A and B are shown apart, each in its own frame.
Chain A
């Protein structure tokens, strides 16, 4: 394995409810880089993050994090690996009954017995990093969508992880929140030396900060490489349709259906 790879996925296959999502896929995530995973909705991008986190069992294949298999290992090893991973959920997944401060303090309180003053310092540092130190006493219900996601991000980096996974971080954000989040992801990645995986379908935003890209479609990887390499693949029609957001192309506008004329005849019979 290439030493610069932080996370490697080998021959991953996964199906859910008898529907094949991934068919023998290989991924390599470089240490310290931002890797984007792009693809249309429903392709299984979130599922991929859950597989990396060991929250779902793989059908076949291997996921190696720091050369350590995440699946086919003891629960203890998996939990130890998760301490080095952070994940930003699409919904934020903050604990409703806890304040912003307590949400960020949660992983620290769970794993370490820290003096209250040290814990407070750490939490304030994380909140300062996402610009929400002033919101520490608010409840999640009092936050806007963008703020909730930033708090979730502070919580995801509370344990100083090596790898952070972002699940659709920009969906439903206004332009200001989106730019703030983009800046934060980039900044955290470079200052903390993180490896970042961003799953998204916001092509332009993600590609503006990503180093490497995987584009998923139809259970397989249709393109991979650096951002420049991806844009050079002009003959890949599926990729071009996705990158440019065309309504017509290999991915049809219409869902599979019998002929329109037949349907209308049936109605008027």
Chain B
């Protein structure tokens, strides 16, 4: 009676371990060994694809999130006559949590999904196999530049997200709600520390970037070569990488800011 269930769990476990193994192999084949001769131009091209083209959504979202955060913060703080601390609230919540997490979620939706769809289509139309037969490693030629570009661009996008969001907070808090501008900046300056706040946020986004790009490339490379397969893989990338970002954020916050 219970045997099919045990078999099911066994099959799932084997498949899971296999996919972890394949993902690690893919990562090591992409990053270790002699890099591709044209890695730099390929990398720059991908920084444009993943970074520059993600700027509109990242900056617009940053602006609105900063504005909303400032508005909500003001309504709470003003009850305690503590609205002068608005700058500190906006900056700390953005630098430590919202910036890295929201930017990562947006990046996974914008860049992660496009990576999976692109690699998936290349795989299902045998472009990667043909590259391999031309003695060109698709790991080094296609995957490595995308992986590196993802790891470099997300932290930069996160920093830009934070800057725009803090400015959005300033717009609402100072220009609209009338909080003192000097207080907004000086309280922020006093409460934000470079290493624990800014750099921890950047470190978080580096880790998120590795996870998102890795998941996106893996799902693209091991796609089921049909239209439905590509759509399934793209969805899977967004779902898995978003959940991983949220779960990992909890772990990292506990490690960085706990005790």
Contact = CB atoms under 8 A, between A and B. Distances in A.
Interface string B114-130: 00000000000111011
Contacts of A91: 125-126
A240 B250 CA distance: 68
A79 B37 CA distance: 15
Given A91-B125, A93-B125, A111 B130 contact: no
A80 interface: yes
Contacts of B37: 110
Nearest to A86: B133
B133 A55 contact: yes
Contacts of B126: 89-91, 93
Given A93-B126, A95-B127, A79 B133 contact: no
B45 to A, nearest CB: 11
Contact of B130 (A79, A80, A89, A96): A89
A90 B135 CA distance: 19
B259 to A, nearest CB: 46
A110 B134 contact: yes
Contacts of A90: 126
B193 interface: no
Contacts of A110: 37, 134-136, 141
B132 interface: yes
Contacts of A146: none
A53 interface: yes
Interface string A1-20: 00000000000000000000
Contacts of B133: 53, 55, 82, 85-87
A95 B136 CA distance: 14
A155 B136 CA distance: 13
A93 B127 contact: yes
A106 B134 contact: yes
B137 interface: yes
A90 B130 CA distance: 11
Interface string A232-263: 00000000000000000000000000000000
A79 B135 contact: yes
A82 B130 contact: no
B129 A89 contact: yes
Contacts of A100: none
Interface residues of A, number: 24
B135 A87 contact: no
Interface in A83-130: 83, 85-87, 89-91, 93-96, 106-107, 110-111
A213 interface: no
B127 A82 contact: no
Interface string A54-84: 0100000000000000000000000110110
A82 B137 CA distance: 11
A110 B127 CA distance: 15
B135 A82 contact: yes
A106 to B, nearest CB: 7
Contacts of A87: 130, 133
A159 interface: yes
A234 to B, nearest CB: 39
Most buried by A among B37, B130, B136, B137: B130
A164 to B, nearest CB: 11
Nearest to A78: B135
B255 to A, nearest CB: 37
Interface string B129-163: 11011111100010000000000000000000000
Contacts of A86: 133
B125 A82 contact: no
B7 to A, nearest CB: 15
B130 A83 contact: no
Contacts of B137: 79
Interface in A212-244: none
Contacts of B134: 82, 106-107, 110, 155, 159
A107 B127 CA distance: 13
B135 A93 contact: no
Contacts of B135: 79-80, 82-83, 107, 110-111, 159
Nearest to A83: B135
B132 A53 contact: yes
Nearest to A110: B136
Interface of A: 50, 53, 55, 79-80, 82-83, 85-87, 89-91, 93-96, 106-107, 110-111, 152, 155, 159
6 contacts: A79-B137, A82-B133, A93-B126, A94-B127, A95-B127, A110-B37
Given A83-B135, A110-B141, 4 more contacts: A55-B132, A87-B133, A93-B125, A93-B127
Interface of B: 37, 125-127, 129-130, 132-137, 141
